[in-house]
Chain A
Amino acid sequence: MWQALYEELAERGFVVIAVAMDSREGDPLPWIEAAKPTYPTLIDREHRLAELYGIVNVPQAVWIDETGRIVRPAEAAGAYEGFRRMNRATREMPEDVARLTAQAKATYLDAIRDWVRAGDRSEHAFSAERARAHLPALTQEMVTAQAMFRLGQVLLRRGESAEGQRWIQEASRLHPDSWCIWRQGAGVNETGLAALPDFWRRVDALGSARYYAPVDMKGMP
């Protein structure tokens, strides 16, 4: 998704840093080999970005300017939760959902283009005040959950399966809004996707709540 955008904007001082929130060694490699990105693609086994930036899902993105300032805090990166209305047997997407999915992606890419072109003057670049207002609210439960997740992953790496899994499950109980924690700890299907029946049950349990929090951007569905 990002390679074309990167090639288009790289000469204007733009870079994508794609981080795989993948704890199991080797899991992201086939995807990286297939995509052959020319921008840095990093692997975050302990979900350090979740600790530092309050990330709870993928794809989420943070915009950072040339001085290292956060211009847009973590938000869904052109993703739309149309998959919730997909036909789970045939995997077909209703037409209006397909349209909204495309709209979300196009809106986000255009916003990035505008930012690269206009910098701080872009309507999509938050002022310091607006950026602060859009920061994720961090609770003691959330940071403790991330510490539990980190401990669990290190224990898994050391062969302490049962204890490691217990910490990861406890982390998810303490930070239920984190799909990163839950999906990383969940069972996966034949393509490595955490999309087994337990995932769909958890998604359905959201009810009218959003899988991706709404993005404050004109044109975003």
Chain B
Amino acid sequence: MVTLLTESGEHTVAAADGGGGALWCPAREAEATTGWEAKPEGLCRGAVCVPLPAGRERELVDGGRINLAALWRHLDRPALHSARGDVWVLGESAQQRAAALASLEAPDFTLPDATGRMHRLSEHRGKKVLLVTWASW
């Protein structure tokens, strides 16, 4: 049982194994939580495919499972885990973040208000938005 924190949010994957610095995730859940899947060309997400490094294929794909931690490290993205291996964060790389901002398309997000109702930035398309931070601290 692993709690997985990705770009798309928080996911609980019952059949994942996050111990020993690896994050073995059944193929279906890997695809559902991260969009990555194993294909003959390698590991793919949408139109992007990454060939498996020769001689090290089994570090990333084994049977019907993908080691998401190994994939993330291969892609130079942060992959962090709790001491027990039960909570993992799979982050984006600086390059991805910078490229997203360089497009000047304001990255969309979904956050709750004080009542718990979720709001998306993109709901406000058609208006000029002042997105401003504050804090109680």
Interface residues of A (CB under 8 A from B): 2, 13-22, 27-33, 40-44, 46, 48-49, 51-55, 57-70, 73, 77, 112, 115-116, 119, 128, 131-132, 135-140, 142-144, 146-148, 150-151, 154-155, 158, 160, 163, 167, 180, 183-184, 186, 188, 192-194
Listed A/B pairs (22) with beta-carbon separation below 8 Å: A15-B128, A15-B129, A22-B135, A31-B136, A33-B114, A41-B113, A44-B111, A44-B133, A48-B109, A61-B130, A61-B133, A64-B106, A112-B130, A135-B101, A138-B94, A140-B93, A143-B92, A144-B91, A150-B89, A151-B5, A184-B137, A193-B136
Is B132's CB under 8 angstroms from A42's CB?
A: no
Is B131's CB under 8 angstroms from A17's CB?
A: yes
Q: How many A-B residue pairs have CB under 8 A?
A: 208
Complex Cα distance, B62 from A46, in Å, reads: 33
Is A154's CB under 8 angstroms from B3's CB?
A: yes
Whether B54 sits at the interface, judged by CB under 8 Å, is no
Chain A hits for B83, CB < 8 A: 163
Complex Cα distance, B22 from A62, in Å, reads: 38
Chain A hits for B93, CB < 8 A: 140, 143
Within 8 A of A (CB), among B116-137: 119, 121-122, 124-137
Complex Cα distance, B106 from A135, in Å, reads: 12
- Given A19-B132, A140-B76, A144-B91, list of 15 further CB < 8 A pairs? A13-B126, A15-B129, A21-B133, A60-B133, A61-B130, A61-B133, A68-B125, A70-B106, A73-B101, A143-B78, A143-B92, A154-B5, A154-B89, A155-B82, A183-B135
Q: Do most interface residues of chain B lie in helix, strand or loop, or is the interface mixed?
A: mixed
Residue of B at shortest CB range from A2? B132
